[in-house]
Structures are given as C-alpha cells and as structure tokens.
Structure 1
Amino acid sequence: MSDNIDLKILNEIEHMCMLCVEQMYRLPTSLPSLIINEQNYQWNDKIEDRNRRDFTRYIYVLSTIHRLVRTQSRMNMRELFYSQVNLFHQQRISDSIVEQIARHLCVDRRQLGLVATAKGFCAGNLRYRIVRSGEIIDCNQLSNGQLIVDDDVEIIETENHITFILVVEKDTIFQHLLNHGFLTRYHGACLITGRGQPDHATRSFLFQLSRVYNETPIYILTDCDIFGVLIASTYQSTFDDNDRHRLRWLGVWPEELLSLCSLSISQTLPITDERERRMISRFIQRSDISDEWRQQVSFFEQHQRKMEIEAIYENGTKKLIDDYLHDKLMGHRWL
C-alpha cells in the first residue's frame, strides 16, 4: 500500500511539473527568463515578481518532495526552510506550501518525507519501534529521555505494564524528575513532555501509548497559569469523548496556590497582562469544559495570582516528588 502511495505522489508531481514546463515553453522566447532548479524557463512579462517568487517556491518544494519520496528519505520542516532561507524568508511560508501540497495530493505530510522538528521527550518503562527504520527504542536504557520523532511508531507492550503515564508541561520539570529519582520511586511509570504546547508527534505518541495500555491512567502536570490550563486542554482534546476521561489534570490547580505547604505569597505572581486576563475570560465561557475546570480557572479571575511549578521545589529538590506528587498520586487527587 505504501509503495502505491509513493508511486501516486511521484506521478502526480511529475505531471504537475510537466504541465508547468509545457506552458512556459509556449511563451515567446524574447521574454525574460526565470531559472528554477538550474532550468531556464520563459515568463510572460505581465507576471509580477511576487508571482515568480511564489511559483519558484512551489516548484522547489515539489522537487524536494519528489527527491525525498523517490529515495525514501526524511527531512524535517526546519531543514526545508534553511535549505533556501533567501527564497522562503520565513518558515511559515515553506510550511504553508507543504500543507497545500499535502492537501492537493490527499496524503499525510509524513508521506511526503517531511516531518516536524522533534520537540517532545519520553522516558521510563517503555519500548517502541520506528516503523520506517525498524529501530527499537528502549527508554529504560536512557538516562535523559528519548526525543519523540515525527514518524510512524509501534508501541511494544512489555511484560511489566506501565502503571501510569505522567505528562509534564516543561522540559525543566521533566529533567528535574528524572535527575531526582522519580522513575526509581515509581518504577513502572512513563514520563512525557511536549516542552510547552505539544506538537503533533507528541500528541500522536501519547494517543498510541494510550491505545496499547488502555487501562493505564494518564496524568498531566502544568504550571498554575492559563497557559498551563490550555496545554492540559490540548492534551485532553487528543482523545475522543469516550476516552477523554482517562486524561486527568493532576495540578497545579489554582485553588492550591495559597494552601500549598510552605508556599508564601512571594512565590506566586500577579496576573497583570491584559492578554492573559482575556484568555482566562474566554476559557471560562467555553462550552466544552467541565464545571470543575471552569471553577479552577475562575480562581485566576478572583485572585489575580499564578505560579510556576518550580516554586514547589524552590526550597528543597525533593519537595515536588516526595510531597506534592506523592500526595496527589497516592491520594487520587485529580480533575
């Protein structure tokens, strides 16, 4: 099936380019020329420079995709942009062209040989195979975690089942938990971070993991601000209505700001940015969130305070694991 799709992509690209070349060669030879991939093409003098540039960009991306598919190679979206910085100027332009071509060909971007720049990390009691290369990744053997690639993977179910999956917002918290023995204390756990708003690869990886371990609870830990709540909401939207309840927001909850042990008001921050305030108001008005989440976010409006997770272990490196997370996990306190 994959070979048929690759052949379809190659044939379609070649057909599109042939039509373009045929049209160009019908133009009078006295008109200005444009060089695309070392080929000289003739242009109508009524075509504006902007259109010439847009066309060049499109043809360049098409030729790159043709090479990647033909050679079964991979290139990340960042590499594509940097391969012709002066042509694209901004990465969003090259990204947009790729998405246009993917929609036109009715295929996934990864089938064009273009993948997102790896962003998320995973660690813990987990093994998986990268389908394209056959490489098997054993996350138990990695001390600093494994980069989650934007590629098709197959989760390998192990004899020792994953006891729970903890998704953390920040890479700093991910590394802190690894460095201070979280996976030693919770031997069967799996840690994941999207390093901020999760990309497609991280969300897809989490979803596949949840399908294999379909009874394993999934917890998410974020900063206590509207951005953390939105990140938790993004992860939750990865799942359909039947499975969404499996992802549970562990904290840090707004209502905990003033009650956390040893937390002083100086460790919380005022909400002064108008953009944040508008985001809070819009979130409260959403119809697709639970009453519990709405109540938590309403705390931001009432008290105008927020906090980063780092404040919990500011005065002791074990506080986050030994006190906060342990009490949550053992006390089954989540939303």
Structure 2
Amino acid sequence: MSDSTRLRILNTIEQMCKLCVEQMYRLPSSLPSLTINGQKYQWNNNIDDRDRRDFTRYIYVLSTIHRLVRTQSRMNMRELFYSQVNLFHHQRVSDNIVEQITKHLCVDRRQLGLVATAKGFCSGNVQYRNLRSGEIINCNQLSNGQLIIDDDIEIIETENRITFILVVEKDTIFQHLLNDGFLTRYCGACLITGRGQPDHATRSFLLQLSRLYMDTPIYILTDCDIFGVLIACTYQSTFDGNHHNRIRWLGVWPEELLSLFSKSISQTLPITDERERRMITRFIQRSDINDEWRRQVSFFEQHQRKMEIEAIYESGTKKLIDDYLHDKLMGHRWL
C-alpha cells in the first residue's frame, strides 16, 4: 500500500472521529453521529437503542483499523470479532461493518490491516512471494497442499508451465486426488480448493494465476447439487468482461446421475429440503446464467435427485481419476 493511500485512510478516520468529539461537546443539543457508505449511525441516551449500539460498533472498528494502519500491523477477522464478542454477538456483524467501511473508504480490506482466516489450498507447480515478508512459498512442498494466505502476494512465473488448473469444491476430494496421484498422472496440473464457498484469498489467488497463465484452461469439479453449482458460479464471478466464461464446469452434471448410477439409485440422494428446492427454482429464473448450466439445473427439478462426488469413489479408489476425470479431460467434455 502506498504512503498516500495509508495517509488518506488515517486522515479520513481521524476527521470522522474528530467530528464525533465536537458533537459530544455540544450535547444535548447535538448528538454524535457517523455516516458510513451513505448510512447514518447516531449515538443517543437510550442504552438499548439499535443506533447507539451500531454507532459504538463502528467507532470501535474504526479505532482498531486506525491502529492497524498506523502501525502497519495485521489482524485476523476472527480476532476482531473475539476482541469484543459481547459488542458484536455474531461474526457476521463485525464482518459487515468492515465491508461497509471498505466501501466508504474505497479500499481493499487488506489495506485496512484486516485479513481472513486462511482457508483455501493449492498444490502444483506454483510459487508465490509474500510481498510483506519477502518469503517465497512453493505449493509443491507439502503433500497435503499449501495454504493460500490472505495477504499481498505475487505469483512467480517459473520454467515449469501449468498445463491446466482444476478447482475442486471440497477438501476431501482435493486430498483424495493428491493421495491417488492426480498430479503425477497429469504432470503440470495445478489443484486448488476453497473448501466450500471460496474466500477472497482463494478467488484472488486464482484470478492472479489466470492472468499470469492466460491460455491455461481452468476447470471446476463440484458436488451434483445446487450448492455445488452456486460455488461454481462464485468462482465464475471472479472473472469479468471477456473472461467471464473462463471457468469450465467438468461436473458432476445433473444429467449424468442416471448414466453414472443406472444400476443403483442408492448412490444418489433425494432432494427433500424446501429451501433447496426454492434455490433451484430461483437459479433457473436467473437471467445472468449460461443456458447450458440452466438446463443442467432443471434436471434437479425434474428428477429431484442429487449426488456428492464421494459417491464415485465407492466404485473403486481411483475411479474418479481413471474413469470420470480422464474421460472428461481427454474428451474435452465440459460446460
């Protein structure tokens, strides 16, 4: 972060807090207030009032951010929540406050010294440099993958080209593929998982990787349910403009349910949850969805069945690699 950005953040926070102090001196004729991202939060004498509580929360988070930026320190988002758990009650409250402040200041969350708990993993011929510490991290060093940190990083282009990137929804499948020799069979491949819905660090890492290797295909493998499809959409939304369709969905596709398990329906699960059914209906009605993806999701509505990727392993330890993924990758079958 440049010194000018750092000073701008500090000055903006100081001016906001200075105004609150000046308003306090004029009590009771003037009540201290903050305007964050167009929303006004005001302190008052009612201890149970929502505005007073929100005002206090914002003042606390702003003071924490000021300290972090001034000292050029880092704090985990989880740490922020636990530093005043009785004030925030739920982490989504502190997370939302940080989000509103970043929008108000027009900066990235990490520029405020706040980082997320590392969640995603990467394994393959990828190296990156932590720009704060200077440390170079090799994603091939650990047998179970390298944690993707939420910090300022720079991916280093090496002599070892990446043949393709496979993003996997679940950590269990990510570990299965590593243990079963996926990176040995597909030399030059890179595996990434966000362990469910990907965090900012994982999506940012994938975006930077895709820009460095512009012609490298990016595939995604998810559970065959609406949640897996939505996770694929989250990754797809990482890219914009002409690169919006950079993600190629390998599966598991809903239309494959019958062919994969034509002899046994026990491998699939019924869709019984009403919330899940509503999510399917809403997805089909969306106007921003690829027609082929919409057609696939309509199969959920027709057959009311779903499946987890792990079910493919029940037919043999390496069936996912030797049969399913090999057929998709070699046959250029993706959506």
RMSD between aligned residues: 2.0
Query: In terms of mean alpha carbon deviation, does 156-165 or 232-241 score higher?
Result: 232-241
- Distance change >3 Å, CA 91–CA 326, structure 1 → 2: same
CA distance in structure 1 between the aligned counterparts of 2:317 and 2:22, rounded to whole angstroms: 68
CA distance in structure 1 between the aligned counterparts of 2:235 and 2:162, rounded to whole angstroms: 19
- In the TM superposition, 1:136-155 aligns within 5 A as 136-155=136-155
Are 1:293 and 2:275 counterparts?
Answer: no
Query: In terms of mean alpha carbon deviation, does 236-245 or 104-113 score higher?
Result: 236-245
Which residue identity does 2:186 align to in structure 1?
A: Y
Shift, 1:166, TM fit: 0.1
- In the TM superposition, 1:166-177 aligns within 5 A as 166-177=166-177
CA distance in structure 1 between the aligned counterparts of 2:160 and 2:117, rounded to whole angstroms: 31
Tell me the residue number matched to 2:246.
Answer: 246
CA distance in structure 2 between the aligned counterparts of 1:267 and 1:44, rounded to whole angstroms: 57
Query: In terms of mean alpha carbon deviation, does 67-76 or 53-62 score higher?
Result: 53-62
CA distance in structure 2 between the aligned counterparts of 1:78 and 1:4, rounded to whole angstroms: 28
Shift, 1:111, TM fit: 0.9
- Distance change >3 Å, CA 49–CA 309, structure 1 → 2: same
- In the TM superposition, 1:132-281 aligns within 5 A as 132-260=132-260, 264-281=264-281
Shift, 1:195, TM fit: 1.1
Question: Could you report, residue by residue, the CA deviation over 1:43-95 in whole angstroms, capped at 9, with x for unpaired residues?
Answer: 99744443443332222111111111111111121110001111111112212
Which residue identity does 2:101 align to in structure 1?
A: I
Question: Could you report, residue by residue, the CA deviation over 1:77-117 in whole angstroms, capped at 9, with x for unpaired residues?
Answer: 11100011111111122122222222222222211111222
- Corresponding residue SS for 2:245: helix
Which residue identity does 1:156 align to in structure 2?
A: I
Q: Is the 8 A contact 1:162 1:190 kept in 2?
A: yes
Q: Is the 8 A contact 2:43 2:56 kept in 1?
A: no
Q: Is the 8 A contact 1:164 1:190 kept in 2?
A: yes
CA distance in structure 2 between the aligned counterparts of 1:309 and 1:265, rounded to whole angstroms: 15
Tell me the residue number matched to 2:114.
Answer: 114
Query: In terms of mean alpha carbon deviation, does 288-297 or 210-219 score higher?
Result: 288-297
Shift, 1:150, TM fit: 2.0
Tell me the residue number matched to 1:73.
Answer: 73
Q: Is the 8 A contact 1:125 1:187 kept in 2?
A: no
Structure 1's unaligned 5+ residue stretches are 29-42
- In the superposition, the TM-score normalised over structure 2's length comes to 0.90
- Distance change >3 Å, CA 8–CA 331, structure 1 → 2: same
Q: Is the 8 A contact 1:271 1:304 kept in 2?
A: yes
- Corresponding residue SS for 1:249: strand
Q: Is the 8 A contact 1:117 1:150 kept in 2?
A: yes
Shift, 1:238, TM fit: 1.6
CA distance in structure 1 between the aligned counterparts of 2:173 and 2:199, rounded to whole angstroms: 18
Are 1:334 and 2:312 counterparts?
Answer: no
Shift, 1:193, TM fit: 0.8
Structure 2's unaligned 5+ residue stretches are 29-41
CA distance in structure 1 between the aligned counterparts of 2:212 and 2:328, rounded to whole angstroms: 25
Q: Is the 8 A contact 2:115 2:150 kept in 1?
A: yes
- Distance change >3 Å, CA 45–CA 319, structure 1 → 2: closer
Which residue identity does 1:81 align to in structure 2?
A: F
CA distance in structure 2 between the aligned counterparts of 1:244 and 1:197, rounded to whole angstroms: 18
Shift, 1:206, TM fit: 0.8
- Distance change >3 Å, CA 44–CA 8, structure 1 → 2: closer
Are 1:58 and 2:67 counterparts?
Answer: no
